Amino acid sequence: MLAGTGSDVGKSVLAAALCRILRQDGYHPAPFKAQNMSLNSYATPEGLEIGRAQAVQAEAAGIPCHTDMNPVLLKPNSDHTSQVVLNGRPAGNRSAYDYFRVEGREELRRAVCEAFDRLAARYNPIVMEGAGSVAEINLRATDIVNMPMARHADADVFLVADIDRGGVFASAYGSIMLQSPDDRKRIKGIIVNKFRGDLRLFADGVKMMEEVCGVPVLGVVPYFQDIHIEEEDSVDLAGKASRAEEGRVNVAVVRLRHLSNFTDFDRLERDGRVHLFYADSAEAIRQAEIIILPGSKNTIDDLEWLERSGMATAIAEARREGRTVVGICGGYQMMGREVADPEGVEGPPRRRAGLGLLPVRTVLTGKKTTRQVEFRFAESGACGRGYEIHMGRTCPDDGTTARHLACLADGTPEGCRLDRKCWGTYLHGILDNNAVVDYLLEPYVQSTGNGTAEDYAAFKERQYDLLAAHVRRHLDMEAFYRILSSEKR
């Protein structure tokens, strides 16, 4: 298990690295995180939902993702409530207070332990990931993801400490000392992550940390910027907000309050023809040639926010001026004439006028659609792949002249297209397909081509290999394997 001194210390990326390393070394690993909180999710081949990070780790391990890799997923839909996804299916909305109560906790504990046991019967070793800080002693009685899970799995625990944020000695020491004596013995090593500068300058620091903590430091992993692994959370998106740039096509992704599945834009962001930024103001939207409305966990709330902020007006102006407006999933719903929530899926039952850019209407429903799909792009006939995760049905108004955007493998029409500069779709990952990206950019560039030397799938495989090589260089793999092969307690 990779446990952390806090959130965002790099556990997910290191887990992906170890999945790839173990695969390279002849093992058959699989990732596991008992409970994940994220709006970035993915559909399994069976049409169920897990956290995107575990799907990425499974990809690094070279295996299909499965709900047993992430049996509990929490998807925040407000500041106080989250949708609980259990074994890939929605199990209702819960407030944080209700979710973390001791009462009823054993049901979840049993579910995650059973999922781990099923996974461990098929793969070896299991690369487990903890959540947040391993030392939240106030949540110890209800914890189902950190040390209690390590105890169930009889796992060796490696503590990941982020040196970039400062206080690395105190956070590592405190995380270890706040464990019970038995749990403290499970922590077999420390991995210092996100180091910047000359590693030789921290040589004495390694010795001091080992002396203070009584645990060996297995490595100091430098911060990297030239390896691209899909991120789990949107915490870094604010840093990607920027202004328009001359010489490239400016693409503004609207930074919704409940933005989900932001990895939809990773491929586009790396296209050499594109300057992509996240817009949270009307002024920023006015600087872009292409505006994309992304997925949302609360479509109606984000629609209201667009109106209040003036961004809805700026998006309508962009369409009138001949710029491109595209919607994906929740963004597609917003582009229609109305979004209705008669069952109270997102809160109290209500309905809200949409942006009116597409002649469609959406009714939110309690039933969630989650599936991987193959499609044929209507404009070019090119084949592509994507996935759906949404609650609701979107239908065209009677007599509309709009056309569908794509046709699924089973013949079902998908999406809505007024013209090449105004369209919407439920397909996450649609912009991972080169033909769709070329279609999006063609009005603004002289030549087509994806701006990279390889397709996206090949690009990701190469990134996993680069990540594995980077971690191998800085982690004592001999000590790592020695710990894993030592006799258990």
**Residues annotated as part of the active site:** 329, 428
Q: ω before 413 within 30° of 0 (cis)?
A: no
Q: Residue 361 and residue 348: Cα distance in Å, rounded?
A: 19
Question: In the chain, how long is the greatest CA-to-CA distance?
Answer: 75
187: amino acid identity, one letter = I
CA 15 from chain center: how many Å? Answer: 14
Spatial strand order of the sheet with 249-254 comes to 274-279, 249-254, 290-293, 324-328, 422-425, 416-419
Q: Which helix (H) or strand (E) holds 115?
A: helix 105-120
- Calculate helix-pair angle for 52-61, 11-24, nearest 10 degrees: 20
Name every residue whose Cβ is closer than 8 Å to that of residue 241 and which is 6 or more positions away in sequence. Answer: 255, 277, 278, 279, 280, 284
Compute the distance between CA of residue 68 and CA of residue 81 in angstroms, rounded to an integer: 24
For 167-305, strand residue ranges (E) read 187-195, 217-222, 249-254, 259-260, 274-279, 290-293, 295-296
Q: Cα–Cα distance between 261 and 429 in angstroms, integer? A: 9
- Are the C-beta atoms of 267 and 276 separated by less than 8 Å? no
**Tokens found for residue 418:** 């007024």
Q: What are phi and psi of 217, to 5 degrees?
A: -90, 115
Burial of 258 by CB count in 10 Å (0-12 exposed, 13-18 middle, 19+ buried)? buried
399-417: string of b/e by CB count within 10 Å (b at 16+)?
A: eeebebbbbbeeeeebbbb
Contact 292, 327 (CB under 8 A): yes
CA atoms within 13 A on the CB side of 295: 27
User: Which residues have CB under 8 Å from 267's CB, separation 6+?
Assistant: 431, 432, 437, 456, 459
Per the CB < 8 A criterion, the answer to whether 10 and 195 are in contact is no
The CA distance from 383 to 406, in Å, is 9
